[in-house]
Amino acid sequence: MTGPRTQRRRDPEARKEALATAALEVIAEAGIGRTTHRAVAARADLPLGATTYYFPTLDDLIAAGLRRATEAVRADLRVWAERLATAPDLPAALARMSAAYLADRRRAQIEYELYVAAARDPVLRPLAREWLRGLRDVLEPHVGAAAARDVCALLDGAMLQALVTGGDLDEKALAEAIRRLTRGGAGCGGGTG
């Protein structure tokens, strides 16, 4: 037998990667509360014992999946920072990037799953805090600490409402709300002063 499963049998790191990826997929589809060792093993096409060998507790397995998501968020934030640094109209650019982020509903749902789970589970709080801090850190040099905090809260609320209702973000209205929150902030452009 050749192929991905054979390779994973010989490579412990590949197995761990496969399990972390599978955990993330199960979290996205079923939510953290319905994620099980069995579901992750089936998704990864690995024996159930592999999940408990590499991740002894369900919390360990879930955290591994969420760490993979965190890596992706870090990469996204680097791109956002680059785009915002040269944006002639920061509020419009931020609204546009938020709408594009929300287009991948599955990924956005993972973020909000993490927030809800972290409210219940202190083990997950450092990951959630990192996600919460990430965009605020990107925005702060442009708009200041208070406005960055406020804009992040606005974006979280707008995205959560869009996820719950199945609707899209109204980019124009969102950009105007960001503009109001950032009046007087440096680099906002497009009528923010």
Q: Residue 38 is part of a domain; what is its CATH number?
A: 1.10.357.10
**25: in domain:** yes
What percentage of residues in the chain have a pLDDT greater than 70? 90
Average pLDDT over residues 11-22: 93
Q: Which of 5-19, 31-45, 57-71 has the highest mean pLDDT?
A: 31-45
Domain presence at residue 188:
no
The Cα–Cα gap between 58 and 49 comes to 13
Whether 100 has a pLDDT exceeding 90, the answer reads: yes
Q: In degrees to the nearest 10, what's the CA dihedral of 55, 62, 135, 181? A: -160
Model confidence at 184, pLDDT cuts 50, 70, 90, reads: low
In a domain, 187, yes or no: no
For residues 168 and 120, the answer to whether their CB atoms sit within 8 Å is no
**Residue scoring higher pLDDT (42 or 73):** 42
| pTM, entire model | 0.76
192 within some domain: no
Encode pLDDT of 48-84 as tens digits: 999 999 999 998 998 898 888 888 888 989 999 999 9
Residue 108 lies in a domain: yes
Question: How confident is the model over 154-175, as pLDDT tens digits?
Answer: 999 999 999 999 999 999 999 9
d(CA 51, CA 45): 11
Domain range for residue 38? 4-181
pLDDT exceeds cutoff 80 at 193: no
87 falls in which pLDDT band (50, 70, 90)? very high
CB 117 within 8 Å of CB 124: yes
Q: What's residue 189's pLDDT?
A: 43
Determine the Cα angle at 174 with ends 189 and 136, to 5°.
70
Q: Please state the domain count of the chain.
A: 1
Which of the two residues, 193 and 139, has the higher pLDDT score? 139
In a domain, 189, yes or no: no
N-terminal to C-terminal alpha carbon distance within the chain: 66
Whether 191 is covered by a domain: the verdict is no
> Is residue 147 situated within a structural domain?
yes
Give the C-alpha separation, 66 to 27, whole Å: 9
